[in-house]
A and B are shown apart, each in its own frame.
Chain A
């Protein structure tokens, strides 16, 4: 399972991990601490990949034939299965991390995942479940596209303007969810799910209007974003656009906000115990609105980074699935900015590699969604991992509770 290793290493190399480490204790204690905190997610990833491998083996017609003659030729069946899995995962690895070009592709894929993942993580920390990343990133991308298409400005002004517009678009949707929750007590999950569909239909509608349509065409695809709003690629032979460093910067910003600022303290306090926070004199309602608006802004920026980076035109259903991937990687990253960066790069690698895997081995791309779903399950239910791997409870920590049910308002 060589391809499972890079992500934890990347996360360990991340300066943010160091920043969050406990101050007391030597470097050895710190490394041990990092390794311990990575054990659970790593086992979750490995288990998910093993289950994914089993699914690949037992749905491949030619390998199934080998298994049909298992009793006459057991070695052949095992050998064939091993080769199939090895080829698939090898292709996955090669096309995601195997070369400079592949790594660039991975980082480009990781950019929106990190940003939307930060959105989900930030909301988690404030005690909110942001399942509305899809809607927020679509509205963000729409506002950014509008700015991109409508105005004709030099890059220095146009690009930042589009980024801000995209962020504000997402923030408006997130803020609306936060406002309705704070004002009426409606559950943010229901509101988010409903607004996701509203946003999807809004996009469908926008793509029928002349503003968002290519001149003379009626198919629902927007014109390409002009070069003045596109995220530039600073290094010529390493095609990663500026969105990736921007995402890292934003991750640092979110960490600073949560750990070092008053607002962040208030958000974490409300997330940990709203009653205690209210008793301490904090404005729970205002904090809820602000948290959801910021989460929405991050998701909007994520959508904008797709539009101005890798896929410069709006289409129906514009990357809505990123909103759900983001939940998986926020869980995997335990709702910390550094964890989200690591998990985002891992998921970016999975998604970048999946295309290559499909081309090289005809293993359908959708297997990575199965793997991602299993990662969610195993991270959220450490007890399952404990049962499978016989790890002691103390070394993995208990499962996290992220949301209250509808009833607990």
Chain B
């Protein structure tokens, strides 16, 4: 290693902080480019070498019943090699990059690997690429909304591992009120209300009573699971009419929805899809461009300083945790009012924790969290895609991928995420 400064024998002197920073970034760049090389080599060895030149992959680009675009036919072997070398090229490029955006390289290389897998799995067959992308977006919706709930809370300095419980409670509340009132909109609003209520509970417990925020979150998760399961057995089983909310229908945006591929994908969604996109971009703008956003971030980074300049720390935190509850409530209502059309015991099934992972993977940024949610949604949807094509890859490992990737990210292997500094610490003036 000629890069590292020579260290004299004996106890090492404390290196200057910027040197630590420098070697740390260097290490991250090396690791990221190593991972990119790995992805590229994986794509070439696993898929490029395991296919022949006369094989072609056919990918469908249209939703069912549409013929807007022709089928895409790719030579499997050539495409696998090209994409594999693309990932390797990213690895070479990553060596020269020195900034925290290096995660993008890691993500892109993973994406290329996944794309190669998608093409390879469809060799000698037909892969429903549109269905894969649309399904990923569908599955990403609740994850992204949950992750936004996490962003709202943690940017203000309150750890929220209760997203799961909030979503589950909101899913239940939305189902039962929509069924009782006969109106999906009433159900949606009540779902948001239940989310806000659980957010308020989390806020009171962690801000007013200063309970350890992880203990408080665990309380909400167990409480919501117990209560909804209890009420399901007690009420919904006896009155099945209360568990038939139905689902929101997609609303096509005129003209825009006629664009091939993108149109049906983005402009023919139901209310949840539009709200999610609106929320992602609104929060990304508001957190970094408005007075509100500045206040929230200052409370999350340095509450004492915020207090000194006259910001009411506790009020900001209360508001944000409740807003986070609303976002989680929207994500929860998705399960009953957009996806299943009924409530089932423990139907969120860990999605709230995936949302937590997405928030971390997305570095506490709304757009990052959304992209992470898309990746996680994709890894779930890929299962269905591969099952249809009869590919011998155990689905459990694909489902494991989001968690493993999150561990890689929090372990700082691809650049340490910048956590809001005061996250998890209660604030009181007497401290």
Chain A interface residues (CB < 8 Å from chain B) = 55, 59-61, 129, 131, 180, 183-187, 189-191, 193-195, 197-198, 201-202, 204-205, 208, 324, 327-328, 331, 363-374, 376-377, 380-381, 383-384, 399-409
Q: Is B356 an interface residue (CB 8 A)?
A: yes
The answer to whether B423 and A399 touch across the interface, beta carbons within 8 angstroms, is no
CA distance A200 to B404 in the complex (A): 13
Do B222 and A373 touch across chains, with their CB atoms under 8 A apart? yes
Contact of B225 among A184, A191, A369 (CB under 8 A): A369
| Cross-chain contact A201 with B159 (CB below 8 angstroms) | no
CB neighbours (8 Å) of A399 from chain B are 209-212
Instruction: Report the minimal beta-carbon distance from A363 to chain B, rounded to whole angstroms.
Output: 8
Q: How many residues of B contact A (CB 8 A)?
A: 55
In the complex, which residues of chain A have a beta carbon less than 8 angstroms from the beta carbon of B396? 201-202, 204-205, 208
Segment at the interface with A among B34-42, B233-241, B304-312: B233-241
Residues of A within 8 A of B234 (CB): 59-60, 363-364
Residues of A contacting B350 in the complex (Cβ-Cβ under 8 angstroms): 197
Over the window 340-374 of chain B, the binary record of Cβ atoms lying under 8 Å from chain A Cβ atoms (1 yes, 0 no) is 00000000001001001100100000000000000
CB-CB nearest 4 A-B residue pairs: A405-B424, A369-B226, A364-B233, A373-B223
Give the docked Cα–Cα distance between A184 and B408 (Å): 10
The docked-state distance in angstroms from the alpha carbon of A402 to that of B220 is 17
Q: How far is the CA of A380 from the CA of B221 in the complex (A)?
A: 15
In the bound complex, what is the Cα–Cα distance between A191 and B234 (angstroms)? 36
Shortest A106–chain B CB gap in Å is: 20
CA–CA, A409 and B234, complex, Å? 44
List of B residues within 8 angstroms of A208 by Cβ: 394, 396
- Beyond A184-B410, A198-B400, A399-B211, 20 extra complex contacts between A and B, CB < 8 Å: A59-B230, A59-B235, A129-B214, A190-B410, A193-B356, A193-B357, A195-B403, A197-B350, A198-B403, A208-B394, A365-B233, A374-B219, A376-B219, A380-B215, A399-B210, A400-B212, A402-B215, A403-B215, A404-B424, A406-B423
Bound-state CA distance A74–B216 (Å) is 37
Q: A109 to B161, alpha carbons, bound, how many Å?
A: 28
The answer to whether A370 touches B227 (Cβ under 8 A) is yes
Chain A proximity of B406: nearest CB distance (Å): 5
CB-contact partner of A194 in B218, B219, B229, B406, under 8 A: B406
Distance (whole angstroms) from the CB of A193 to the closest CB of chain B: 5
Closest chain-B Cβ to A59's Cβ sits at a distance in Å of 5
Contact between chains at B407 and A180 (CB < 8 Å): yes
In the bound complex, do residue A201 and residue B397 qualify as a contact, i.e. CB atoms below 8 Å apart?
Answer: yes
Contact of B230 among A185, A366, A407 (CB under 8 A): A366
A407–B403 CA distance with the chains assembled, in angstroms:
21
- Of all chain B residues, the one with the shortest Cβ separation from A372 is B222
Given A201-B397, A364-B234, A401 contacting B212 (CB threshold 8 A):
yes
* B25 at the binding interface (Cβ < 8 Å): no
Whether B223 contacts A180 by the Cβ 8 Å rule is no
B219 touches A377 (CB 8 A): yes
If A197-B350, A198-B403, A407-B423 touch, does A366 touch B233 (CB 8 Å cutoff)? Answer: yes
Q: Mark B394-431, 1 if CB is under 8 A from A, else 0.
A: 10110110011011001111001001111111000000
Residues of B close to A180: CB separation below 8 A: 407, 411
B376 to chain A, nearest CB (A): 11
Contact A131–B214 (Cβ < 8 Å): yes
Among B210, B216, B222, B406, find the residue whose CB has the most chain A CB atoms closer than 10 A. B222
Residues of B near any A CB (own CB < 8 A): 154, 157, 159, 161, 205, 209-216, 218-223, 225-227, 229-231, 233-235, 238, 350, 353, 356-357, 360, 394, 396-397, 399-400, 403-404, 406-407, 410-413, 416, 419-425
Q: Is the CB of B212 within 8 A of A327?
A: no
CB <8 Å contact, B226 and A367: yes
Inter-chain CA distance A204–B411, complex, in Å, is: 25
CB distance from B372 to the nearest CB of A (A): 13
Enumerate chain A residues within 8 angstroms of B419, measured Cβ to Cβ.
406-407, 409
Instruction: Provide the bound-state CA to CA distance between A365 and B231, in Å.
Output: 11
Interchain CA distance A406-B409 in the complex, whole Å: 14
Least CB distance, A168 to chain B, in whole angstroms:
21
On chain A, the residues within 8 Å of B413 by CB distance are: 184
Q: In the complex, what distance in Å separates the CA atom of A273 from the CA atom of B276? A: 43
| Cα distance, A409 to B420, chains bound together (Å) | 11
* A205-B360 in contact given A373-B226, A380-B211 (Cβ < 8 Å): no
Min CB distance A312 to B, Å, is: 24
Report Cα–Cα, A125/B413, bound state, in Å. Answer: 29
In the complex, what distance in Å separates the CA atom of A328 from the CA atom of B422?
Answer: 26
A186–B407 Cα gap in the complex (Å)? Answer: 8
A59 & B423 in contact (Cβ 8 Å cutoff): no
Q: What distance in Å separates the Cβ of A179 from its nearest Cβ neighbour in chain B?
A: 10
Would you call A190 and B360 a contact (CB within 8 A)?
yes
Q: Are B423 and A405 in contact (CB under 8 A)?
A: yes
Assess the B159–A193 pair: CB atoms within 8 A: no
Closest B residue to A200 using CB positions: B350
Asked whether A190 and B356 contact (CB < 8 A) given A59-B234, A407-B419, the answer is: yes
Pick the contact of B205: A129, A197, A198, A377 (CB < 8 A).
Answer: A377
The answer to whether A407 and B420 have CB atoms under 8 Å apart is yes
Residue numbers in B under 8 Å from A406 (CB-CB): 154, 159, 419-420, 423-424
Can you pick out 23 interface pairs between chain A and chain B where the beta carbons lie within 8 Å of each other?
A55-B230, A59-B230, A183-B411, A184-B412, A186-B411, A187-B410, A190-B357, A193-B356, A197-B403, A198-B404, A198-B407, A202-B396, A324-B221, A327-B215, A328-B218, A369-B229, A373-B226, A374-B219, A376-B215, A380-B219, A405-B423, A406-B159, A407-B419
In the complex, what distance in Å separates the CA atom of A370 from the CA atom of B231?
Answer: 11
Bound Cα distance A55, B228 (Å): 12
Given A373-B219, A405-B424 in contact, is the A366-B229 Cβ separation under 8 Å?
A: yes
Q: Which residue of B lies closest to A375 (CB)?
A: B219
The interface residues of chain B lying within 8 Å CB-to-CB of A191 are 407, 410-411
A355 CB to closest chain B CB (Å) equals: 13
Q: Which residues of B contact A204 (CB under 8 A)?
A: 396
